[in-house]
Structure 1
């Protein structure tokens, strides 16, 4: 029905109905959560969260036998009317060309290949307002002003893909940049991945170079241009007779690009010559993070049980901070589109003198269309 309505709308503004209609898609994900020690100062809070709800249009149209156009435009939807999911704010958006059996060239604003290297089995709390690894690890950026190329999964070896993305600086450097960013490829995000469904194996290696990202536990609010490396993998144990069990893992390391010296930071000024008060700890920052998780979809039932443990250790000269998160989740899937779920997780900051633990318990529903 939705495709018929979209096709009619396109025709009504003068386009030929012979063109392929775009696909309307989206996801609404709402949960009711009780968060104990929500602000790390002892305050408890009951929340209704939208959890990265979204709506978008996407499509692909053949231009010749060997060339097609692809496009996507996605918006955040604030299902609960508040919070971080600002209504109709930009998410992934691009236009590109797809070359038959070679790959796809895209330009726009979309997730870095470092971010997408974390697949379906590297974060069971993906999109959760409180628990997503965006809040706990470096590197979960959606990059603006980028051109990227993704090889076809069967170009060289079936299941093997190469991705590379070049970011235009357009002088949008962070406060901690040591050079102006006005060139092609001021930031680069790349990955190589391999997936073999018959063997149940998926692995990926990704790198960011000169890409600004957040060190969530450093106390520095600004994003810092950094180099980072991420290794992910998962294995489906149904291939050895344990139906429904999948294990996944992730390891990564990040540090500021060209490690700006404390002297550079202490003398930093903006384009107007005004002094910037920058945190000197940025000169020696580094973050090491990892996680392991297990998902067990109980055979012949709509139930799935999940568990995850993760850690991020952020260090700089004279100090370090360690953040831990562990939790479980339960899913009840009604069909491929709809599921009910529950979560229970705890986070721990080792640098807090009191109120060092935060607990999240909640239940929600997700519907994809």
Structure 2
């Protein structure tokens, strides 16, 4: 019996040694925010916010010299405790797939559209906060039931091609029930020696929200194009300064009522400056989203803000921000044209 147990233990250790250990990772991003005219109402409130804090596990298992299996499972966590127990963990990116060395990766699951990821974190200094671009413009979607393939940028000298097919799975005679009912794609290029990164994203029939619209949070099937870019001016002698910009245009493809005539133009521009020989980075951003229906102006949302980061180490930073959103319409329920936030926070990556 002892020999049998010993053999089982040795076998288990051998199996564990042969498999790569998964990596636990995450981010805690907690802030204290003062909102004036919360949600464009007349309420002023101080909040502790979790800001898309998350925890996940990822890994890669080698199958052969050129082929590996990859996986990732990530959940949003409620650091501030506002969610009830059943909502403490919310699904984020979850997928499994195969990776061919120096060629590309095939993924199947639920994860960020390639249109969304065309905008890097540099293109939105309020990323994950209440005032990030998700609150203003189309395209910040995480898509379910997808098959995606992304090439390794090293394959084509820094150029990457990404294609995602979404299956509607509605099982209706005239509905979305085939392969690639919606498509999200992007072409990316990064050259660190030049300090340049650019991306072109495209959605076809992907359902997304138009926040600056009469339709509000109602998702509409949409064709859209997004162009994003970043440039490090340190490469031309302006050390510490980076410029980032994004422009996109979107048009609803739905044939349901007014949505068939819904269009959006949106853009973002920002700058970040790291003060020499200090842990301080100063940021500024302006963004706008404008919608129209049947060629007539619908609604416009503008936002501008400032941010300051104080780096503690590679994993942690303190930050402060002030931002204001302004809109060009009012209603009885939400009479204010603007809302403002002042916040301080801690971001810790592990």
TM-score > 0.5 by shorter chain: yes
Q: For residues 59 and 81 of structure 2, what CA distance do their matches in structure 1 show? A: 29
Aligned 1:101-250 pairs, distance under 5 A: 101-128=102-129, 130-156=130-156, 158-171=157-170, 179-220=174-215, 221-250=217-246
Distance 1:181 1:49 in 2: 37
Number of aligned residue pairs: give it: 334
| TM-score, normalised via structure 1 length | 0.87
Partner of 1:290: 267
**Residues 292 and 308, structure 1, Cα contact 8 Å, conserved in 2:** yes
Distance 2:72 2:12 in 1: 21
Deviations 1:169-215 (A, max 9, x none): 10189xxxx95100010010000000000000100001000110001
Instruction: State the superposition RMSD in angstroms.
Output: 2.0
Unmatched segments (≥5 aa) in structure 1: 1-10, 266-279
Contact map agreement 1:75 1:87 (CA 8 A) in 2: no
Tell me if structure 2 keeps the 8 A contact 1:250–1:292.
Answer: yes
Equivalent position SS for 1:335: coil
Mapped contact 1:76–1:86 kept (Cα < 8 A): no
Corresponding residue for residue 18 of structure 2: 18
SS of equivalent to 1:281: helix
Q: CA deviation at 1:121?
A: 1.7
Does residue 367 of the first structure (1) align with residue 348 of the second (2)?
A: yes
What is aligned with 2:303? 325
Alignment partners' CA distance in 1, 2:307 and 2:297: 34
Structure (1/2) with the larger helix percentage: 2
CA contact (8 A) 1:54 1:74 kept: yes
CA deviations on 1:267-322 (whole Å, 9 max, x unpaired) are xxxxxxxxxxxxx3312100100010000011211000000000000111344211
- C-alpha separation between the residues in 2 aligned to 1:229 and 1:179? 27
The answer for the alignment partner of 2:339 in structure 1 is 358
Q: Equivalent residue of 2:258, what SS?
A: helix
Please give the TM-score of this superposition, normalised by the length of structure 2: 0.91
- Cα distance in 1 for partners of 2:258, 2:87 equals 32
> Are residues 83 and 240 of structure 1, via their aligned partners in 2, closer, same or farther at CA, if it must alter by over 3 Å?
farther
**Superimposed CA distance per residue, residues 103-125 of structure 1 (whole angstroms, 9 cap, x where no aligned partner):** 00010000000000001321000
Q: How many Å separate the matches in 2 of 1:227 and 1:206?
A: 11
Secondary structure (helix, strand or coil) at the match of 1:154 reads helix
**How far, CA to CA, are the matches of 1:223 and 1:210 in structure 2?**
11
Which has the larger share of strand? 2
Gaps of 5+ in 2: 1-10
CA distance in 1 between counterparts of 2:180 and 2:66 reads: 28
